Each structure stands twice: as C-alpha cells, then as structure tokens.
Structure 1
Amino acid sequence: MPTDHPAPSPRPRGWLSRFDTLRVKLFLAIAGANVVLVMTAYLIYSWSFDKGLVEYLNKADENRLQPMIVRLAEGYRQNGNWAWITEDRQRWQDLSREVLGTGRMPRRPGELAPTPPAQTPSDAQPHNPSPQAPPAGAPPSGPPAPNVPPTFTIDPRLLLLDPQRNLLAGPEGRTEQAVLKAIVVNEQVVGYLGYVPRLQMVASLERVFLAQQTRTFAAIALGMLAAVLLNAALIARWLSRRLRVLGDGTAAVAQGDYSVRLPTRGHDELAQLAEAFNHMATSLQAAQQARQQWIADIAHELRTPLATLRAEIEALQDGIRQPDTANLDSLAQEVSRLTRLVEDLRLLSLSDLGALDYRFAPLDLGRFVGHHLNDAASLSGTPLHVRTELEQGVEVRADGDRLDQVLNNLLQNTLRYSASPATLQVEVRRHDTEAQLTWEDTAPGVPPAALPRLTERLYRVDESRASASGGSGLGLAIAHAIIEGHGGRMQASASPLGGLRWDIWLPLNPEPANA
C-alpha cells in the first residue's frame, strides 16, 4: 500500500521568485534592523533635546526672575501693600519688561503717567523744585525704549499673587500651572511671584532654534539611513556570494563530483564551513576510491579460486583428469578458500553495521594467550620458536571466540610472511586501566609507509605474494574491527626482531574477579 508523503511547498513564480532569495532576505533583515535603530536613536535624541531645552529654559527663567522678586519686595516695603500694582496694570507690565532686561515699553498715546501713591502727613516734604527720585516700583523717567519684541518672552507667563494666593496681576486661569516664588518682606511672606513653565511650547527664538535642530537631526538621520541601506546591500551581496559558492559545491558533490574544493578566505565561520566542506569532499573522494578498489579486489579474489575450480572441473569433464581423491581434494580446497573469503566479507559487513555479536565475560588475558599459542604451535606444522612473557592476573572483559580470531589471524600472518626459521615474541602487561598485548616476529619487515595501511581491507604489501601465501588480505582488517568492538585499539610498528610488531590495548575489567 503506497504511503502518503507531504507535498513540498511550491516555490513562488514570476516576479516573486526574484525576491525569494537569500540576498534579498539578508538585505531586508540587516536594513530593517538598522533602520529601526536609526529611527529609535533619532526619536530618543529629539526627545532628549526637547526635554533638555525646556528644562534649561525653565532654569533660566527662574534665575531671571530673582531680580523681579527683589524689586517687588522693595516696592511692597515702601508702599505697604500691592495697590501700586493692582491700581496700575501698566506699571506691572513696565516693571516686568524693565527688570527682565528689555527696557520700558512706551505708553499708549494720550495715557497719563500713574499717580504716585498717597503719602501720610509725616511723610510730607516741603516743596523742592529740584528733581526727586521716583518712588520705588515706579518706572524710571527718560525717553521710552523702542518697541522691540523681547527675545525671551516670559512676561506673558508671569503672575503676582497675594499671601492667600489670589491673583493680583497676570493672565487668568494659569494659577494652577504656575511655579510660585515667595516674596518675603521683614521675614514675612507678602505675596508670590509665579511663572508658567515651558512645557512643550517655546516661543520666538526657542521655537526657531528647535526647528533648526530638528532639520539638522532629520538630515543626519537620512544620511545614516542611506549609509545603512548601502552597508546592508554590500553585506548581503558579500554573504550571498560566498554562500552561493558553497551551494554550487554542494550541488556538485550531490551529483557525484567529489573533486570539487571551495576556496577558504580568512578565519571566520564561513571559512571554517568551507574547510569542513573540503574535508568532507576529500573523505567522500577517498571513500569512493576505496569502494572502487574494494570492488576490484573482491572481484580479483573471487576470480582466482573460481578460475581454478572452472579449470579443474572442465578437465574432469573433458576426461583429461580423473575424479580421484587428489583431484576432489583440490576442488574442496578451492571451495574452502571461497568459503573463508565470503565469511570474512560477512564479518566485516556485520562490523560496519555494528551487528557483530559479542559475548563478553571476564578473561585472564595472559593465561588465554598462553593456551592459544600452545594449541597453535602443535597444529601449525611449521618451525616457529615462541618466546612469551605473560603477566598473570591481567583480567579483561572480552569475547573469547572473537579474541581467538584475532590471535589466529596474527599467527597466520606471522607464519605466512616470516622467513623460516621464524621467531615469535608475545608479551602481556598491565598499564593503569589497560592491558597491553605485544606481538613481534622476525624478518622480513614492512616498509614504514605501509604500516598505517596494514588494517585496510584487501591490502597487501607485496601483491605478488598473495596467491602463494593464500591470504585474502582481510585477516588484519577483521582483527582490527574486533579489537575496536572491544573498546580497544591496535597499532603496527617495526619490531626490533626485524619483522612486524603489533601493540594491542584492551580496557581492564572494572569488576572484581569474584564478582
């Protein structure tokens, strides 16, 4: 019954496909993030400037009002009340303009000078034609100041209140918003001078200055926005170009071209990704070559016994050879050779799949190796001098049957490739948490360049000796796979005896022997 698979999402067509690219997405992401940052910085800067400007102007207003408080206190001290202000509103305006530094505003045409406040008989003075100073609080005499608008318009926001905070002078309905400054005469509060602080509105020059700064900030923001868009476009183009090279290389590898390599520039993450890609391509190329060589070697190994079987069977069919015991034994020998080869291939395939069975049990490695060498020496039929130094009590957790395969393959390798009379030296020692098995034989040795490849499948140092020795080139590969299955490691080196040395390390049994 066919299974249902989710259909892949359709790709956009037409003009939408031009925008569904990594380059556009990177540009939008980088540009969008930077635009948000620019706009946020612009708004925060504008708000901070407006707030700072208003606070600065309010503080400036407070400092400028201090002389006004002094003048009002002097006027109250001389007149004893606020009638000189409440009965002459023009005096309030003139006084505020004079004290704030903008000069006295001229009177309207036909308007008379204010009448000085009434004096008590005790204060009366004899007539003196000489000029007298004007009373405190009265506007000074002299030519009127030109009618020039004040630079900082504060007087429309001034209020004068009595001690009960009733409005005496100033705009109506602004008392609740005003900031009050006490007017003290003889240590008593006789009134309050209030001003309405600047909140979000500024007048005259302040507003012009604010508009100028706003235009400047806007120009800066537009310049930053243009730089951000250009920077985002360049970054997106640079990243997309490098990723496109990686995509082209991946597509080539997917099509079976393992020779492709990516250029590595710099030391950033993309360069590291390119190096990892090149390493992967190299590994795939080596695996492909090994697979091809593996197939060719298997075909060669199978062809030799099959050719021998075919020739002998055809000789029996043609009557050239008789089906006697010797001829049948030769056929059986070739069949056994094929069987061993197929079994070895099966073991390696199971090892690759992780399906090779192991039956682990505590095992005294020195005693186990000694028994194996004694049995093998009696069955080999080949002169072999064996020297051993086997430490007892070196216990490992291993599969005896699989470990027996390892020792058998090592022994067969020694018997096949060591010149007669051969010498074998085997040692077992304990090293911290590991057991070390050393296997050394006599000449001939192995070239240093071939040592790392001895555990490769179907590899032989001398191809011409393959048929004569009868080996398939899989024994050491099987031994290496079994040792790794035990959690150990296996390494080849040159032996001081003139031949080959194998060092095998196996983890010691972590459990006590009587457990």
Structure 2
Amino acid sequence: RWFNILREVLGWRVGRRDMREIKDGVRFQTEERVPPAPLLDESPLPPITIDWRVMLFDADGDILIQPPGELQETELAVRLPIRVDNQVVGYLGYVPRLRLVQSLESITARQQSRRFGVIGIGMLAAVLLNAALIANWLSRRLRALGQGATALARGDYGTRIPVRGHDELARLAGDFNHLAEALAAAQRGRQQWIADIAHELRTPLTALRAEIEAVQDGVRPLTQTSIASVAQEVQRLTRLVEDLRTLSLSDLGALTYRKAPLNLAECIDDALFTARAAIEAARLEVELDLDRSVMIEADEDRLAQVFANLLQNTLRYSDPPAKLVIRVATEGEMARIDWEDSAPGVSDQDLPRLTERLYRVDASRSSSSGGSGLGLAIVQAIVTGHGGHMEAAHSALGGLRWCIRFPLAANSAA
C-alpha cells in the first residue's frame, strides 16, 4: 500500500524527477514520464529508490524512508502532508537547496573547527614540551653559574665553569672564569704583599733589636757609634712605614696634591742639589738637557719625591762609574722627561713589573742595598695622580730609561 502511495505521489504529484547518481556528485535530469501501469497485488515489489533530498514520514512524524548516504538532517526537511480520503496518512519531506548548502557549510565549519582545535592542542603541547626542555637546559646552566658565584663568595677562587657553545651564557661563563682568575691573582698578590711587608719590617727590626740587646748585655758599649747605628735602623724603618702609608693613601684616593704652576727644570735642579753629596760620593756623572720653559701643574713636594726616588734608584743600582742623563722637552700637549742611567739593565720580562710593590729584579737590586722595593711604585702613584704616565725601556747607556709625561700647564700649552 505504501509503495502504491509513493509511486502515485512521486509519479504525478512531485513532478516525475529522476535522480542519477554519479561518482563525484549528483546530477538531476527532469523528463516527462509515462503514467505507471497499475500494479497487481501478486507482482513482486521493486526496490524503493528515492531522491537524496526526499524523506518519507508516517502520520506520527517518524521517518520511514531516509535518503541514501550520511545526510540525516531531518530537521531541515520541509514536510508535505499525504492525504488519503481527506485523512493524513504521512508526510513527504524534502530539503531545499539553500538549507542543504547551509547545512553542508555548518558541517564543514564544525569539522574544520574540530581539526583546528586538535591542531591547536597539538601545537600547545609541543610548545609546552619545548619550553619545559629549554627551561630545564637553561636552569642547569644558570645553576652552574649560581654555584660558581657562591663558591667565589666563599673565597674559593679556583672555581671554574665549563664553557660550552658560543651563545651568551657561554660568554658569561668565560667572563666568570676570567673574573675568578683575576680574583685568584689578586689573592696571591695580597698574600705576597703581606709576606713581603712582614719581611721588610722584620729586617730593620731584627737589626735594631740586635743593637739594643748588644748594648744591654754589655757586648757593645753605649757610644755615639752604636747610637748612630740604632738611629739608622730607626730611620730605615720609619721610611718604610712612610712609604707604605703613602701607597695606602694612593690606593684609597686620599693622597692630597697642592698643585700650582711649576717649572719642571727648576724642580729637577733642586732635587739634584739636595742629593749633591750622594752624587759626589757615588761619582755619578750627570748630564742635563732641560727645556727651561716647560711649565706643568704639580705639587712641588710630591714631584720632588718622584725625582728623589728615581735618583736613589740610580745611585743604588748603577755600577760605578755611573752616568745619568736627564732630558726635559715638550711633546704635543705633554711635558716629557727622559731619565736614563748606565748599566746594569733589566730583561724585557722584568720591565713591566718594575713598578710593582716590593718587586726586585735580582740579587743586584735587593734590599741589601737599602731599597724597600716601594720607591718606583710611589713614583708611579704620584705621576698617575698628576694625570701623567710613565713607562720603562732599555737605555742606550746600558741601564734603564724612564719616560715620564705630564700634562702641560694651561698657559704653557697655549
């Protein structure tokens, strides 16, 4: 019965549409049909085919025949009542093209949304995994830097961090190692400095103590000679302590200078005149080539100390008959002093270290000759305090040549 009703509805009332399905879609072809021959109840029923947009519902709205494929959007169908003897026996539903397209678009949008959601979740998981790996890698390298910094703070200057790669953290590790090496060198220098000071102080104190004990025990009578010997050791000890104080003030930036316009040639003349007795006793030949128009801004007392220390260095360490050549000239906006003495000289590796505190080249320049090893360090501190600089080189006379430069006074430079 339903078959007959469907044939009647599709054949005459729907418009006789024939659907042909093809592989890549559907194509509709409309043609007029011959009215179907009446069916005999005894004949077998052919298989029911239906347009892919058409559905059949019973009187209660339940679907009886749905279109082929996966399209089951029954809520989009427009239902037409099927009446027999003025009684609704069912509904013929069809999906309009516009609704079908909208439905396909919404299905595609939902599918794309699901795909995008899966892709987004995957990308987020990948980003989180990479971030966790990178964070772990960075934390391990930063942890090594932190442990190294903690070790340096404890005074363990032998700590080193392995340098891996060429990135910023590798350069930071290299700088950390350079800092550790510098701190280790500073610590060794400080320890050596303390040991050298203790040695320098012990030498005059030991001699002073021996002189006093000899007088107390009656081994040496209390004469002017013994008193002079004690006074000499006291003077040496006082000079050493004063040199240490001068260097300490220089390190703290508390070494004061009362600068005033000063004629450099006259200052050298005064220093040589003050030491004329020692120069004559050492038979030191002094040759001067001084530009007496050179003026600088300097503290006269401090500059006299510079020339006195340089002269003492020449008198102590130059072999007789010794010679000293002093030249003063201008060099651009600087005043230049060349201080050259005769043999013996120093090696190339010792030249940069001559201004180190308590540094001595060899036994020929030892404390037995009366030097504390602080004179040249004080000279460099005073020269630097005046905005100048000094450098050592080999002398044509076979000894040592000091090249000292000071800024010219404003009027002299003009």
Band of TM-score, shorter chain: 0.7 to 0.9
* Matching residue of 1:252: 151
* Matching residue of 2:53: 149
Structure 2 distance, partners of 1:514, 1:235, is 61
2:381 to 470, 481, 488: 481
Secondary structure of the 2:265 match is: helix
What is the deviation of 1:347? 0.4
CA contact (8 A) 2:317 2:364 kept: no
Map 1:332-343; keep pairs closer than 5 Å. Answer: 332-343=231-242
Secondary structure of the 1:203 match is: helix
What is the deviation of 1:467? 3.7
Aligned-pair Cα RMSD in Å: 2.9
Change (3 A) 1:110 1:392: same
Map 1:97-496; keep pairs closer than 5 Å. Answer: 142-143=32-33, 147-149=51-53, 203-380=102-279, 381-463=281-363, 465-496=365-396
CA contact (8 A) 1:494 1:501 kept: yes
Structure 2 distance, partners of 1:143, 1:323, is 157
CA contact (8 A) 2:294 2:412 kept: no
Q: Select between 301-310 and 463-472 the one with higher mean Cα deviation.
A: 463-472
CA contact (8 A) 1:367 1:390 kept: no
Structure 2 distance, partners of 1:514, 1:474, is 33
Change (3 A) 1:421 1:371: same
What is the deviation of 1:498? 0.5
Structure 2 distance, partners of 1:110, 1:383, is 147
| Matching residue's letter, 1:317 | Q
Deviation digits for residues 132-173 of structure 1, max 9, x if unmatched? xxxxxxxx873599644399x9xx9xxxxxxxxxxxxxxxxx
Structure 2 length as normaliser, TM-score? Answer: 0.75
Secondary structure of the 1:339 match is: helix
Secondary structure of the 1:207 match is: helix
Structure 2 distance, partners of 1:388, 1:464, is 27
Change (3 A) 1:237 1:112: closer
Structure 1 distance, partners of 2:183, 2:164, is 23
Structure 1 distance, partners of 2:360, 2:373, is 6
Change (3 A) 1:373 1:107: farther
Change (3 A) 1:236 1:290: same
Change (3 A) 1:421 1:149: same
CA contact (8 A) 2:340 2:401 kept: yes
Structure 1 distance, partners of 2:397, 2:33, is 128
What is the percentage of aligned positions where both structures have the same residue?
A: 57
What is the deviation of 1:109? 9.1
Change (3 A) 1:335 1:258: same
Secondary structure of the 2:326 match is: strand
Secondary structure of the 1:449 match is: coil
Structure 2 distance, partners of 1:433, 1:302, is 42
* Matching residue of 2:91: none
Structure 2 distance, partners of 1:112, 1:299, is 122
CA contact (8 A) 1:362 1:513 kept: no
Deviation digits for residues 179-231 of structure 1, max 9, x if unmatched? xxxxxxxxxxxxxxxxxx99xx9722111111121122112112211211111
Change (3 A) 1:215 1:377: same
Structure 1 distance, partners of 2:259, 2:31, is 121
Structure 2 distance, partners of 1:514, 1:279, is 42
| Matching residue's letter, 2:263 | D
Structure 1 distance, partners of 2:264, 2:286, is 17
Change (3 A) 1:107 1:405: farther
Change (3 A) 1:277 1:437: same
What is the deviation of 1:365? 2.1
Change (3 A) 1:423 1:108: same
| Matching residue's letter, 1:442 | S
What is the deviation of 1:291? 1.1
* Matching residue of 2:398: 498
| Matching residue's letter, 1:426 | I
Unpaired runs of 5+ residues, structure 1, are 1-105, 114-139, 157-196
Matched residues, number: 338
What is the deviation of 1:372? 2.7
Structure 2 distance, partners of 1:112, 1:411, is 130
Secondary structure of the 1:456 match is: coil
What is the deviation of 1:514? 12
| Matching residue's letter, 1:231 | N
Structure 2 distance, partners of 1:149, 1:360, is 109
Higher strand proportion (structure 1 or 2): 2
